[in-house]
Amino acid sequence: MAGLVNLTTLSAAFKTKYGKLADDTFDSSTPLQARIKIVNDFVGSTYVEAIPTGFAGSVGAGSIPEANAEPMVQSSFSAKKVYGRMKIDREALYASKGNEGAFVELLSYQTAATVKSYARFAEFILMGDGTGKLGTIATGGVSGSNPYVLTISAATWLEANFEEKDYVNIGTGSNDMFEITAVDPANKQITVNRISGSKVPAAADDIFMQGSENNVPQGIKGVCDATSSTKYGVSVGRRWQATQVDASGVGLSVDLMNQAVLELRRKCGQNPKMILTSYTQYRKFQALLEDQKRYDMVTIQSRRGNYGPNLNGTVSFSGLQYLTTTGAIPVLESRFCEEDRMYFLNDDYIKQVRRKGFGWFDDDGTVIMRMADSDAFEARYGGYYENYIIPSFQARIDNLAV
């Protein structure tokens, strides 16, 4: 029938009119997301990369030296599955059939909302410890019956990790589903409503985004905190470990920042390219600059023009500068950074390695798919990737006074 809005015309409008909006929402969400390289060449079961970890032992004096090979290690990892999903009631779509503006507005809203939620989760993962953990219930931190009011331990509380309407699992190995219905930052509490299973939250239980326990890509915190075991299949050690500075509870100072930068440069010969910290420490850093009577600002450009959607020149972030003997380093804030931390990152050695097909799933020739046994449609976003963060070029200060 002429003019009939069907699955085919719906999918075409969705992809051509709002695909770019969705990509922009993801790539420009935070400075770190916008700056890291995107590599879309992950094929096979495992990604392997050779890394030199020293110098060739082939020099000497007085006589011809023996030759010895440069030490090398092979890092390896597999891809993790990270998804976003939206559902749209069929009646709601057809209710706006006679008004194209309202119809497109509905799709635009749902599209942007799904990708925005995905971007938040991706940033949480990138800044996280690789476990998918949102927080831990404090001792005596459970009150009421279903719904439960949970107090999160002070050591693991981060407001950005908790949002109303998120579905979470509580307790290691549990698949029982809870919905977050309220977030109370002042008391470090969330309210959850159990919607499946019989799990009763208890003190010391960890909270995970649904299905995410130990299923998420590696993150900055996990890599920068590692002191033993392996990362990407390589033993953590002298040439495969981030620079770690423990502030021991003292306040942020230029001396501590100098210590982190100089120690990092001593180990790998390079300065960090950016400093990322919490809003609390960003405010304290501003206070360190008060005697200068002015702030030196810096603009960070997205590098997606070379590694993904063409955002170069359209997205930028402004921040303060930290001056070193070799130049200025931009200082920016992240709501997913713990209050007592500051990271010194070289984003030349951070990349997101993806399998092809990342984005809206359209393998069946359509983005919007009819849901079985339901009068609704759904669409899925995301893909398979790993964050590859070479530890040797990164540093962190933790345990800063807050």
Name, of 14-28, 226-240, 295-309, 323-337, the range with top average pLDDT. Answer: 226-240
Measured between alpha carbons, how far is 273 from 345 in angstroms, rounded to an integer?
6
Say whether pLDDT at 51 is over 90.
no
- The CATH class for the domain spanning 133-209 reads mainly beta
**How high is the pLDDT of residue 392?**
95
**How high is the pLDDT of residue 316?**
57
Residue 18 near residue 107 (C-beta atoms within 8 A): yes
**How high is the pLDDT of residue 219?**
97
Confidence of residue 107 (pLDDT cuts 50, 70, 90): low
Q: Structural domain boundaries of the chain?
A: 7-45+75-127+354-380, 133-209, 243-350
- Judged on CB neighbours under 10 Å (0-12, 13-18, 19+), 198 is exposed
For residue 247, how many other CB atoms are within 10 A of its CB? Answer: 19
**How high is the pLDDT of residue 94?**
67
Confidence of residue 298 (pLDDT cuts 50, 70, 90): low
The encoded tokens of residue 17 equal: 């009119």
Confidence of residue 14 (pLDDT cuts 50, 70, 90): very low
pLDDT digits (tens, 9 = 90+) for 200-231: 999 999 999 999 999 999 999 999 999 999 99
Average of per-residue pLDDT values in the chain: 84
Say whether pLDDT at 112 is over 90.
no
- DSSP, residue by residue, 85-152: EEEEEHHHHHHTTT-HHHHHHHHHHHHHHHHHHHHHHHHHHHHS-SS-EEEEEEEEEEESSSSEEEEE
pLDDT digits (tens, 9 = 90+) for 164-182: 999 999 999 999 999 999 9
Say whether pLDDT at 123 is over 70.
yes
Say whether pLDDT at 312 is over 70.
no
pLDDT digits (tens, 9 = 90+) for 142-160: 999 999 999 999 999 999 9
pLDDT digits (tens, 9 = 90+) for 233-274: 999 998 999 999 999 999 999 999 999 999 999 999 999 999
Say whether pLDDT at 18 is over 50.
no
**How high is the pLDDT of residue 271?**
92
Beta-sheet strands, E only, within 325-370: 327-333, 342-345, 350-354, 359-360, 369-370
Cα 230 to Cα 225, 235, 236, distances in angstroms: 12, 4, 5
Q: Give the relative orientation of helices 7-27 and 100-127 as an angle to the nearest 10 degrees.
A: 40
Confidence of residue 323 (pLDDT cuts 50, 70, 90): confident
pLDDT digits (tens, 9 = 90+) for 265-293: 999 999 999 999 999 999 999 888 776 54
Is the bond preceding residue 71 a cis peptide, omega within 30 degrees? no
**How high is the pLDDT of residue 258?**
93
pLDDT digits (tens, 9 = 90+) for 132-141: 999 999 999 9
CA angle 381, 383, 386 (to 5 degrees): 140
Going by C-alpha positions, the residue among 28, 14, 6 that lies closest to residue 310 is 28
